[in-house]
Chain A
Amino acid sequence: MLSFAVQALYKVTHPNERESIPQQEIEGLASEPPRSPRPVGNSVAKGEIVHKVQEIDYLVLTALADQIHPVELSELCRLTGLDQAKVSAVLVTRNGAEIEVEERPYRELSVGKKAAAWAGVLPERRIIECLASGGGQLSMLEIAERTGLEPKDVGGTLKILKDREWATQSGKVLALTDEGREAAESEPGSDEQVFAVVAQSDHLVTDRDLRENRLPVEEGLSILLERKGILDIKDRVERYSALTEKGRAFIEGGLTPVREVNLLTPEMLKDGSWREVQFRPYDVTAATEPVWAGKIHPLVSVFEKTRRVFLEMGFEETESGYVESSFWDFDALFQPQDHPARDMQDTFYVGRPSDCNLPAEEIVKAVKDTHENGGQTGSVGWRYQWSRALSEKAVLRTHTTASTVRALAEKPTSPRKVFCVGPVFRRETVDYKHLPVFHQVDGIIIDDKATFANLLGTLEAFYRKMGFSKFQFRPAFFPYTEPSVEVFVWSEKKSDWVEMGGAGMFRPEVTEPLGCTSPVLAWGLGLERLAMFTYDLASIGELYKARLSWLKGVDLCRL
């Protein structure tokens, strides 16, 4: 069992962050022969319980067992052959239990930038010596020349000279005082001694070194530190480790090193060494790198669900082109030629190709007659003069009903069930629920026995399969169906009925000119609307904005 502290230590180590675990650590452990992998301690021979410890713990504990005095960290690294990070990890884990770690602070001293050129002698000493030998009075320029000091260093020392009353200044001339003369002849002060040692040493000097040389360290430093930039001081700590009583007893009890690894390697499987290692436990709650999964678009999954439902219900799929004649988009559906939906405000007329061919003449004539006076259908018609030219105008289809009505005309015989899923185009100004291109599904049932009750039943079955459970059917108006109905589904979120699609029985003015004498049930539904409902979107634009983060994160199981 690992202690809590070790688990805590590894908490920062992420299973997937392979780069963050030094590779050589893992490989080192796998290839490097352990220094003394044999169990130690008396109890081994007696066959008593042996403590299983990680290999690095084993190395550190046994190294300390050979020492009488506390061992400094770098020494311990040398003794164990481990790097500092690993030894520290063991010490952190076992400190206060098997090991006691004593922290010994010390200071690392070096000459500051300002004093780099002073060659171990403080400028005040040079100045008073210079004055003493130069007749007791010199200009600052002369002092600089004679001492070799920078003029700024001479100027920078004036305060010290005055404070210590070693010299007086009048204008640019300094005069040595009696105290100054005395100082020039005496031994250097504690600050000077410390500075000299630090400056002249060829390695890093510590306050401990100075104390060992019996220098007046504390006094010298306190004086020097009042002057900025002369000495740089860094606070350091040395860690000395020793076994505790408990630690010695622990080792006495017998230790077996166990190698701990992060990754299971093919080598371990090949040579069976996986049996001898311990796998470092992971923090299973740690966040992982997100996976970039390939998947289908949420709106496409709505299309696919819709298609699947229709296929399950025995419908054959149909398709037709984006460019459509006004004839199939409007006229065949008994939409009068001056109907507002046909305005170029609402419909995309195509500039190229501008006109389409019309189907067989008898169909065109039947449609024309039906518009003008009802033709053979028993209707009074719309009573206006129908224009062939308007009927030939090419549009981008405004609904998928253009596809289903084409399918109807191709084979107008009962029984048939047909559906079409695809894009449609409206000249809409973009807002939260409108785009110039969106998708629809249209379905028709041609059946001699079909009734309006069948239409409601089919709609209910369809919407139930699409995941809705409460429906309402209300009368509605569409130019090509009679009776017409609008389907509403209950939204828990809005706690209101939401309109989901339109339906009806094709008017005889639609079916009969196309040669169909059977009742035809028909319905259509905007799929973006369904998708917005399914994925809880406030705006239709979300579906096309193509934010990859949303696409990646969206849950397709909602359907």
Chain B
Amino acid sequence: MPVIGIPVDMLRERIETSLSSDELVTKLQQLGCDVEGYATLRRFACQDCDWLMEITETENPPVSCSACGRDFKEFPDRRLERGTIEVLRMELLAVRPDMFDPAGLARTLRGYLGEKTGPVKYHLEEARVSVTAERALASPDSLDYRPIRCAVVRGVELNEDRIKVLMKLQENLHWAMGRDRKRASIGVYDLNSFDSTQGVRYRLVEPEGVEFVPLGKSERMTPRQILSDHPKGPPYAHLLEGRERYPLLSACRPDGSEVVMAFIPIINSEDTKVKHETKDLFVDVTGLESRLVEKILNMIVTSLLELCPGSTAEQVNIDWDGQEQPVVTPDFSYQSVEFDAALPLERLGLTDEDLFPDSTEVVTVEQRAHMVKALLERMGHGVEVRSDSGLLVKVPSYRNDILHPMDLVEDVAIAFGYHNIRPSLVPTFTVGLETPRSALMNRVREALAGQGFLEVLTLILSSEECQYEKLGRPNRESHVSLAHPISHEQTMVRTSLIPGLLETFSVNTDHPLPQKIFEVGRISLLDSDSEVGAREYLRAAAAQLGSRSDLATIKATAEALLTDLGFPLERNIRALQESDDAYHTFLPGRGAVIGDGSREWVWFGELHPQVLENFGLTYPVALCEVDLEALL
């Protein structure tokens, strides 16, 4: 999860309760925030584009603008010092986008601290601005489908801090909810940079069909040029792959000429950019699914209202050409959830004693219901008590995480405080039982450790080179292979434990001799009868490097192991033949296999010098590998 920095002052000025630094951290942790701690950030602004950059005290000042790319080494006076800011660093709580910014976080804290419980009501003005959208963008069965939802926020008083917060919120919503703009993307514009009374157009254009100055540039570019040449083009070009026409948002100047607002979902235009002096904002969210788009719009608009006290939100009409009823957004209506107050108490294991520690009388169903109501209200929900324990919970429009009543159970638990829940044990008796495989693994470990072998663990992922080439074995293509390996060393799941042991020897050449090591673990082979197409086999392998690493020694080791494990006595030992896959691993005539007539499960011998050389070993090695499946 990315780590975000919440400006401490902006958070504190929005809550009344006076909390020490530590108390604030504790309260945030009790709400589920993964707080790393306080940090002081240095700030620099780009004079060209007003972009604000923050760095930690140990980082070097930026050498170029991260927004417009201005080179500060060449133009040092374009980088402006903007002092420092104290932030609370915490992991982004992806499930609660309404808490990504200091204003939204303060809203949650106010409820949790009991300063302002229950739902926050946001007033909405009637629509004065209309968006006319092209039909293809609104038809789910169209390839060009990308619905739009919009809002206007008037009377914002912006400054550098607030713009920074807004930008970060937008960025984090893109990441967490928009799946990096794929599912949704957000645009914020200066409403007064165009004539809003003439409306806004959302339409499709040809790749060369329009020219405008994108953010961070000074020259006009076509969408096609932006996709290839603009810093934001190539990283997001895949979102428009296969489309013949691109979504464009535009408006009109007072003289009726067109002003481009954004090439969606790639970049906004310089013409409609938000500046410090911007008073009114136009906000759009587009995406692949209208419900998500509406949620994100609600989150960003309510956070803006929290961020800029005194501002008001205004709805926007969205006319899809050819459709009779315009869509009007944003819509701040609640999500209603029927909720039985008994559910959280039962699931959490909260008793009357937990809820009413001071009560001496019998607690009634109503009292419990009101307790749950109060807890939910501290989490920002509106609650009506309908019947004895039946509640109707009104989930605020900016919450996106209530999929099921159990999500409300968690809100009750958080409001009650995890630290206030008394841990107890399940009252039911059950009997422990280990798997035969685990039991066998331990018997093998005991047996081999008893013979003086040291257990090692090697990585289960390996390569064809190690498993076959270096071992002198044919690649039968019977292994599990990775579709997108990270490295050449790890392209498949191992089919033998031997390479891991030999690699262990090769990194311990400075260790005294003899070296005796073993591993017990699983290998994987394809199996078309299995549900998943492959299955694992339990194996053990023991190897000795140095003096007396000969066939007799390792045969004795293998036989002692078999005796310990109770292998049947009537077994056939035979020398490996050239037709055996394992033949070239061992010196000719010094490799052998033990089987029971129907199946072979123990291979042992003296390693072939070529194999030793392949693994960079300069001492003889004798080893055995045992397939333990026969014992399960």
A-side residues, CB < 8 A to B, are 292-297, 299-300, 304, 307, 310-319, 321-325, 338, 340, 344, 348-357, 359, 374, 377-384, 394, 396, 414-417, 421, 423, 425, 427, 429, 435-437, 445, 447, 449-454, 456-461, 472-477, 482-486, 505, 507-509, 519, 521, 543-549, 551-552
Task: Provide the B331-369 mask, 1 if CB < 8 A to any CB of A, else 0.
Answer: 000000000000000111110000000000000000000
Is there contact, CB below 8 Å, between A294 and B452? yes
> How far apart are the CA atoms of A316 and B430 in the complex, in Å?
9
Shortest 7 CB-CB contacts between residues of A and residues of B: A451-B349, A353-B533, A453-B349, A475-B32, A457-B423, A483-B410, A294-B449
Is there contact, CB below 8 Å, between B410 and A484? yes
Is there contact, CB below 8 Å, between A458 and B425? yes
Is there contact, CB below 8 Å, between A292 and B452? yes
Q: How large is the interface on B (under 10, 10 to 19, 20 to 34, 35 or more residues)?
A: 35 or more
The residues of A that contact B486 with a CB separation of less than 8 Å are: 427, 429, 436
B405, B438, B481, B532: which contacts A378 (Cβ < 8 A)? B405
A294, A435, A505, A543: which contacts B454 (Cβ < 8 A)? A294
> How far apart are the CA atoms of A275 and B345 in the complex, in Å?
82
Residue of A nearest to B517 (CB): A548
Task: Provide the B506-546 mask, 1 if CB < 8 A to any CB of A, else 0.
Answer: 01100110111100001010100011111110000000000
Residue of A nearest to B453 (CB): A294
The interface-forming segment of B51-59, B212-220, B457-465 is: B457-465
How far, in Å, is A76 (CB) from chain B's closest CB? 43
Is there contact, CB below 8 Å, between A323 and B532? yes
Is there contact, CB below 8 Å, between B531 and A357? yes
> How far apart are the CA atoms of A132 and B530 in the complex, in Å?
115
How far, in Å, is A304 (CB) from chain B's closest CB? 7
> How far apart are the CA atoms of A323 and B526 in the complex, in Å?
10
The residues of B that contact A359 with a CB separation of less than 8 Å are: 531
B30 interface residue per 8 A CB criterion = yes
Task: Tally inter-chain residue pairs, CB-CB below 8 A.
Answer: 275
The residues of B that contact A453 with a CB separation of less than 8 Å are: 348-350, 421-424
> How far apart are the CA atoms of A415 and B507 in the complex, in Å?
49
Residue of A nearest to B442 (CB): A304
Known pairs A322-B460, A456-B424 / 11 extra A-B pairs, C-beta < 8 Å: A294-B455, A295-B454, A315-B432, A316-B431, A378-B405, A379-B404, A476-B32, A486-B34, A505-B347, A548-B504, A551-B454
Sample (20) of A-B pairs whose CB atoms are under 8 Å apart: A292-B452, A294-B448, A294-B453, A316-B430, A319-B437, A319-B438, A321-B524, A324-B532, A353-B533, A353-B534, A356-B532, A356-B533, A379-B403, A380-B403, A421-B438, A425-B460, A453-B424, A482-B406, A521-B426, A546-B457
Task: Provide the B531-566 mask, 1 if CB < 8 A to any CB of A, else 0.
Answer: 111111000000000000000000000000000000
> How far apart are the CA atoms of A72 and B516 in the complex, in Å?
54
Is there contact, CB below 8 Å, between B452 and A312? no
B386 interface residue per 8 A CB criterion = no
> How far apart are the CA atoms of A227 and B41 in the complex, in Å?
83
Is there contact, CB below 8 Å, between B454 and A452? no
Is there contact, CB below 8 Å, between B430 and A315? yes
Is there contact, CB below 8 Å, between A394 and B532? yes
Is there contact, CB below 8 Å, between A452 and B347? yes
The residues of A that contact B442 with a CB separation of less than 8 Å are: 304
A317, A321, A505: which contacts B534 (Cβ < 8 A)? A321
> How far apart are the CA atoms of A457 and B421 in the complex, in Å?
10
Q: Given known contacts A322-B493, A322-B536, A423-B460, is B179 in contact with A338 (CB within 8 Å)? A: yes
How far, in Å, is A401 (CB) from chain B's closest CB? 16
B480 interface residue per 8 A CB criterion = yes
B597 interface residue per 8 A CB criterion = no
The residues of B that contact A348 with a CB separation of less than 8 Å are: 482-484
The residues of A that contact B533 with a CB separation of less than 8 Å are: 323, 353, 355-357, 394
